[in-house]
Amino acid sequence: MRIILLGAPGSGKGTQAALLAEELGIPAISTGEMLRQAVAAGTPLGEKVKQVMSSGDLVDDATMGEVVKERLARKDANEGFILDGYPRTLAQADLLTEILEEMESELDGVLYLQVPEAVLVERILGRRRADDTEGVIRQRLVVYKRQTQPLVEYYKQRGKLTAIDGDRLIEEVAGAFLEALGRKVNA
């Protein structure tokens, strides 16, 4: 299975990615993990990423595409993967489609975790991180809506999107994900 998880900050993507990965026996791959692994590998691409990140800039779409392509080519992703945090933009979504076509593969689905904004803010504030002030959180949600929300329509138009209500117990959300993927939910 080749799956993308979409959802706003605080929606529970990371938690659900880990649960799904364990259940499906495929890696959950986050953008941050991909970047850290590229840097740790010390490859020319990793060095390029390291320079961009150390300057405080965001990794551009083309470089991010190279990182994703390198990560998806690893043996553990042969049977599938769960992408968490990529793509973030329409340009990245198009690039991912190209990468998968080169690999003679395609997405099986995009799971969209829907959570009301008030719940997102409450969850993130509950983490009690220093940089998680309500103003910062709301700004991150504005950026998410502007950059990432268009992906919902993009994948809906391609018949790949399944929306899941993420405002419930972790286990219930995980069960809904597995059901959406056509898997039997473990009792």
**What whole-number distance in Å separates Cα of residue 162 and Cα of residue 128?**
31
What gap in Å lies between CA 25 and CA 19, rounded to an integer? Answer: 10
The CA-atom distances, in angstroms, between 184 and each of 52, 103, 174 are 43, 29, 11
Catalytic residues: 13, 88, 127, 129, 140
Handedness of CA 177, 90, 33, 127 (dihedral sign): negative
The dihedral built from the CA positions of residue 67, 111, 104 and 89, taken in this order, carries a sign that is negative
Instruction: Give dist(CA 48, CA 16) in Å, integer.
Output: 31
Q: Which two tokens stand for residue 130?
A: 């220093």
H helix count then E strand count, the chain: 9, 5
Cis peptide before 27 (omega within 30 of 0): no
